[in-house]
Chains A and B, each alone.
Chain A
Amino acid sequence: MSFLPLRSRALPDGETIFVNDSGRFFLGADGFVGRLIDGAETEGDRISLRAGGHLIEDADSLAFAAHRRAVARRIAPAAPLDYLILVPTLRCNLDCSYCQVSRVNIDRAGFDWSEETLAAVLATIDGLACDRLKIEFQGGEPTLRPDLLRAVMEKAERFAQRQFVICSNLQHIDDELLAIFDRPDVFISTSLDGDEVTHGRHRTKDAETTSAFFRNLRFIVDRYGPSKVSALPTINAATPPAADDLIDAYVAYGMDSIFLRPINYQGFARKRHKQAREQDEAWRSYYEGFIHRLIARNWADQDRVLEETYFSIGLRRIFQPGRERHVDLRNPNPMGYDYIVVDHDGAVYPTDEARMLARSGVIDLSIGTIEMGWDSEARELLNSHATNQFDPACMRCVYQPYCGRDPIDDLARYGRIDMPRHDTAFCRRHMHLFDLIFRLLYTDCEKVRYSLAQWLRLPSIPDSFGEVMA
C-alpha cells in the first residue's frame, strides 16, 4: 500500500502544480499528469515522487515520520502573550480620508487611557511570563501622550529582549519625543503614500502639513539611519501611483521594504472609499506590475534588495514555515492569545481590525477588558472559527498549507464568516498571490530567480526552486 497526499491546481499556462499536505510541491507537465490520471506512472515517476515525500510506501517509516512532522509544522501553535498593541489615545492631529480607526479630533476629552487603564496595562506587563516583549503603540496618534509611552517602557525594562514600535504620522516632533526615539529599543512605523502630491491627497492635504511630514521623516532617517523606520503606503486602488514613483519615494529614505497595501475597508474608508471592499483585477495587475518593477530594479542595482513585504511573507511561508511571525497570515490564527490590542478605553480586542469594526459600529468584537481579563466566551467563539483546516473549500486547495484564515476580515466585508471561501476578498487575494509566486518560481528568467533568492535570503541562486515532473 502507498499513500499519496497530493492536491493539484492547473496553472494558466497548462502545467499543473501539485502540493502535498505538508506544503512540499512540484510542477507536473502534461505527460506526467496524464500518466497519473491513468494510473500509469512509470517506475521513474514513483522514484521521484518517493524522493520528494509525495508518495509514501508503507514500509518507509522515515517518510511517514517526516511527513507527519512536516504537516504538524504547518500548524501554528498559540504562544504565550508577548506582543501588545496599545492605543493610549484615539486622538489624532491628522484627518486622513481613509482613517481605518475613525480617529477623533485632537481636542476631544475622554479618548485617552484613564488612570485605571494605565494601571491595568502596567499590571499586565508585570504578569507576563515571557522573557521577550514587543509593544506597538497605535492610535490615534500615540505621540500625543509621551507620558504614557514612557510609563509603559519603564515597566518593560526587565525584558532582556524588548522592542517598542511607535506608529506615528511624524507630523510633530519635539525634544520630549526625541528623548524617547533615542532609545535603541524604539522603532518608528509611519505612513508614506508616495511623493508629496500623492501623500498629500488623502492624508496631509495642505502643503505646510505635507512638507512638515517629509521634513520630519528626513530628520529621523538622518539622525538614526533607515533601519530605525519602517513605512507603509496606503494605496487608493482607483488611482494608484506609478510603481517607480512609489519605489523612488521609499528609496529616497533608504527604505527597501514596501508593504503594498490597498485602502483597508475599515473605519472612515467604509463610507468614503466604498470600492475598497473588493480588490478587482485592476489592483491585481497593478500589484503584479509592481513586483516586476522590483525584480527589474533589483537586477539593475544589486547593492540593495527591494521587496514587497507581503510577497516575501507568502514566499517564505512556502519554504520556511515558522521562520517568521506574521500574525496576518497563519493557520490556525489564534486570537487573543499571543497578542492583544488594548484600546483607548481599556477594551481588549483580538486584532487591530477587530477594534476598527467595533469603532465603526459594525460589530463589537471586544473579548474583554485589560482590567477584568479576556479569557472570555467571545474569545472562545472567535477561535472556534480561526482555522482553514476544516473549511470545505480550503481542504481542496493546493495553497492551504501556506495560507491562513481571518474571520474578522470576513466580518468586516460581508458581516458573516460562513461565506463560500472563494467568494471572499481574503481568498481571492491569496489565490492571486500564490499563483503569482508559483509562476515566478518556475520561470527561467535569471532576473526573477535572482530576486526570489534574495527575498528568501539565500546565499546563491539554487539550481531550481522546485522539481518538475515531465
Chain B
Amino acid sequence: MIPLLLSAEAEADAPFVTRLRATGTSMHSADASLVESDALGATFAGKSGLFAIDGATADDLDGDVVLVRPQAGRVERLLRSGSPHNTLLVTERCDQLCVMCSQPPKKTHDDRFDLLEQACLLAEPDTLIGISGGEPTLYKDQLLGMVERVLTARPDLRFHILTNAQHFDADDISRLRASLYRQVSWGIPLYAAEPALHDEIVGKRGAFAQLEEGFAHLIMAGARVELRTVLVTPNHHALPDLARYVAARLQFVEAWSIMQLENIGFAKGRWSNLYVDHRADFRPIGMALTLATLHNVRAQLFNFPRCTVPADFRKYAIASISDWKRKFASACEACREQSQCSGFFEWHPDDHAETCVEPL
C-alpha cells in the first residue's frame, strides 16, 4: 500500500498547497525544492517556508502536489506524480447512507475548495483528477465553480466526479452544456431498477425518484456519465432487470461499471450479509453484461479478479483498483493476466483472496 497521508512539521501556521521538487528544474512559484533528505524523510523549502516530511524519500515524493497541514502535523499527497489514480475529497458530508459505504460520511464539513483548486492548477499535464466525497454536489456551486475555473486555466485536465446526482436541477442544464464539461465525467451509483430496493440500499426514501430527475437533466445537458452498481446480496438477482432498465432509460451512459464489494467501511461489519460470491452464481451478472452489450451499453466489471470470472466474460473484468490500494494473492505471481487484472483491495481478507484465485 502506498501511503497518502504522512506526518510532517512545518514553519508555517496555515495549511498550504505546494508541489515538491527533488530536482531543481523548471521551478514554479508554488514549487518547494529539496533541502535535504535521507531514507526516513525529506525536507523542502518553498514560499511558505521550511517543512519536513517523514515516511517517504525525496524520490518517492518528487513531483507530488501536497497539502501541508501544520496544525495537524500532516501532509496529504493530493496528486501523486505519475499516478493515474488521484482523488480529491471535497466533503465528508452525505445525504445518503448506503448500506455498503466504503467511506462512511461525517456530519461536519471542512471547506478546502480553495486549497484543492490550487492543487488542481499544479497538476501534471493531461492528468485525470477524481473528485469524491461524501456527496460533492452538496456544495454544487463551489464544486462547479472550481471545475470551471480549473478547466478554463488548464484545458488539458479532466475530472471524474462521484455523485448521487440528486442535486442537479433544470437550471443547471445550460451551465453543464458548456464545452469545458466535455472534460468532466460523472460517476453515478444506481443499485436497482426497483425504486424501493434502490432506496433501501442507499438508505434514503425517494432517492430513486430524485435520481431519475437528475439523469433527465444530465441527458439534456449532454453530460458524460459512468453508471456504477456495487454488487450486494440484495441486488444480485435484480441485475438483469437493472440491465433492461439501463438499456431502456439510461442508454446514454458512457459506461456501466458493476463493482464487487470493498471490505471496508460499513461493508466490513456486514460482509457476510452483503458479499456475493460471484463464482458460485455468476448467471445474473453474466446476463446483465449480455443484455447491456446487446443494447450498446458498454459494461465493465470492477474489482472482479479475472480468474474468478467465466472465460466468456473475462474481457469485461478490467484492472480497476487504484495502484495505491491494490494487492494480489501469492499465487497471482504465476498468472499471465496479472497486468490486466483488478487484483484485490489492500483491505480484502487475505484468507479469502488466497483461496479464490487460480492463475491463468
Contacts and interface: CB of A to CB of B under 8 A. Distances in A.
Contact of A462 (B217, B294, B316): B294
A64 B219 CA distance: 10
A463 B287 contact: yes
Contacts of A70: 251
B160 interface: no
Interface string A307-324: 000000000000111110
Interface residues of A, number: 29
Interface in B223-274: 240, 244-245, 248-252
Contact of B287 (A53, A456, A460): A460
Given A61-B213, A65-B215, A69-B219, A459 B293 contact: yes
B244 A321 contact: no
Contacts of A73: 251
A66 B252 contact: yes
- Majority-rule SS of B interface residues: helix
Nearest to B248: A53
Contacts of A457: 293
Nearest to A320: B296
B295 interface: yes
Interface in A14-28: 24
A177 interface: no
A69 B313 CA distance: 29
Contact of B249 (A66, A68, A319, A453): A66
Nearest to A457: B293
A386 to B, nearest CB: 25
B313 A459 contact: yes
Contact of A319 (B219, B295, B315): B295
B216 A62 contact: yes
Contacts of B215: 62, 65
A62 B249 contact: yes
A458 interface: yes
Interface in B116-141: none
Nearest to A67: B249
A15 B148 CA distance: 54
B238 to A, nearest CB: 14
A271 B313 CA distance: 53
B346 interface: no
A63 interface: yes
Contacts of A51: 244-245, 248
Interface string B316-328: 1000000000000
Contacts of B294: 319, 456, 458, 462, 465
Contacts of B295: 319-320
Contacts of A463: 240, 287, 291
Contacts of B290: 453, 458-462
A457 B289 CA distance: 12
A137 to B, nearest CB: 32
A401 B317 CA distance: 33
Nearest to A462: B290
- Majority-rule SS of A interface residues: loop
A321 B295 CA distance: 9
A422 B291 CA distance: 34
Contacts of A65: 215-217, 219-220
B248 A52 contact: yes
A459 B287 CA distance: 9
Contact of A61 (B216, B293, B312): B216
Contacts of B312: 459-460
Contacts of A320: 295-296
A51 B243 CA distance: 12
Contacts of B291: 462-463
Contacts of B249: 53, 62-63, 66
B176 to A, nearest CB: 13
Interface string B281-313: 000001101110111100000000000000011
Nearest to B295: A319
A438 to B, nearest CB: 15
Contacts of A66: 216, 219, 248-252
A76 B227 CA distance: 25
A401 to B, nearest CB: 14
A69 B293 contact: no
A323 to B, nearest CB: 6
Interface in B4-19: none
Contacts of B250: 66
Contacts of A460: 286-287, 289-290, 312-313
A52 B247 CA distance: 9
Contacts of A69: 219, 251-252
Nearest to A61: B216
A62 B251 CA distance: 11
B113 to A, nearest CB: 30
Contacts of A465: 294
B212 interface: yes
Interface string B194-226: 000000000000000000110111011000000
A459 B286 contact: yes
A456 to B, nearest CB: 6
A321 B291 CA distance: 15
A459 B289 contact: yes
B105 to A, nearest CB: 26
Contacts of A453: 290
Nearest to A460: B290
Given A62-B212, A62-B213, A321 B248 contact: no
Name the residue among A321, A323, A456, A462 with the largest chain B CB count within 10 angstroms: A462
Nearest to A53: B248
Interface string A296-338: 0000000000000000000000011111000000000000000
Interface in A411-470: 453, 456-463, 465
B212 A458 contact: no
Nearest to B311: A459
Contacts of B252: 66, 69
Contact of B296 (A61, A319, A462): A319
A457 B219 CA distance: 27
Interface in A43-78: 51-53, 61-66, 68-70, 73
Name the residue among B240, B294, B312 with the largest chain A CB count within 10 angstroms: B294
30 contacts: A24-B248, A51-B248, A61-B212, A61-B213, A62-B213, A63-B249, A64-B216, A65-B215, A65-B216, A66-B249, A66-B250, A69-B251, A73-B251, A319-B295, A320-B295, A320-B296, A321-B296, A322-B296, A323-B296, A459-B286, A459-B289, A459-B312, A459-B313, A459-B315, A460-B286, A460-B287, A460-B290, A462-B294, A463-B287, A463-B291
Interface of B: 212-213, 215-217, 219-220, 240, 244-245, 248-252, 286-287, 289-291, 293-296, 312-313, 315-316
Given A53-B248, A65-B219, A462-B290, 9 more contacts: A51-B248, A61-B213, A61-B216, A62-B249, A65-B217, A66-B252, A453-B290, A459-B290, A462-B291
Closest 7 CB pairs of A and B: A65-B219, A61-B216, A320-B296, A65-B216, A62-B216, A62-B212, A459-B312
